[in-house]
Amino acid sequence: MRRALAIGAICLVGLALVLAFGCGKDEDKPPDPVPVTNNAPVLYPPTWTECDVSSGAKLVLDFRYRYHGCDPNGQVTGVSGAYDPDGDDLEYRFSCDWTIFNEDYDVLNDEWVTFPMDSTGEVQAIVCLFVGWDEDFPPYPFKIMGAGAEVGISGCKPSVSSVRVDYAVRDGEGGSAMGVVVIE
C-alpha cells in the first residue's frame, strides 16, 4: 500500500509539474516563408506608324505585347511591347522632346501611368505624339489609331531628322525595364 501511495504521489507531482511548466518544449514556430522572387518586366521596342518625321507628323507608338512572325521552325522572329512574367500589372513612363498623349488627350510625359484593358484583357498601351508639338493639348482632336496628320501643323517646332522616345515599365513589386527608340 505504501508503494501504491508513493507511486500515486510521484504521478501527482509529475502531473502538477507538466501542468505548471508544460512539456519543457516551446510550441514549434511556423517555418519562415520561402522568399518569392519577382521577375522584372520584359520590354521590347514598340511598333509605330510609318511616317515622315517632318514637323507636325502624327506618330503612334504601340506598346501592346505582340508577336510579329515565326520562322519555319515555329520560333518567334519579332516581338514588340511589354509584359510581366509574373502577371503583375504594369505602369509605363515616357520621355520625349514632344508631348506624348493617350486616347483621352492626357499628357503622359515623365509620369507613371497605367492603361485600360480591352474586353479580351489586353492592356491598351498606345500613345501618340505630333512631331514638333510641345503644348499640353493636341493640335487637333484625334483618334489614336486614326489616320496621320498632314505635315506642317501650325505651331509645331521646325523639322527634325529623328524622334527619340525613352520609355520604361515597372511592376508593383519593384521590377522595371527601360528602353529607347529613335525613329528617323
**pLDDT value of position 184:** 85
A 10 A CB-CB count for 114 gives 11
- In the chain, the number of structural domains is 1
Residue 178 in this model has a pLDDT that exceeds 90: yes
Q: Is residue 26 part of a domain?
A: no
Q: Pick the closest to residue 171 from 81, 44, 41, 63 (CA basis).
A: 41
CA atoms within 13 A on the CB side of 75: 2
A 10 A CB-CB count for 70 gives 11
Q: Is residue 21 part of a domain?
A: no
Residue 115 sits in which domain range? 42-183
**pLDDT value of position 26:** 54
Residues making up the chain, counted from first to last: 184
Q: Is residue 14 part of a domain?
A: no
Q: Is residue 76 part of a domain?
A: yes
Least confident among 29-38, 46-55, 74-83: 29-38
> What does the block give as the cell for 88?
503583375
Q: Is residue 12 part of a domain?
A: no
Average pLDDT in the chain: 82
Question: pTM of the entire structure?
Answer: 0.73
The listed range with the strongest mean pLDDT (18-22, 55-59, 63-67, 93-97) is: 93-97
Residue 179 in this model has a pLDDT that exceeds 90: yes
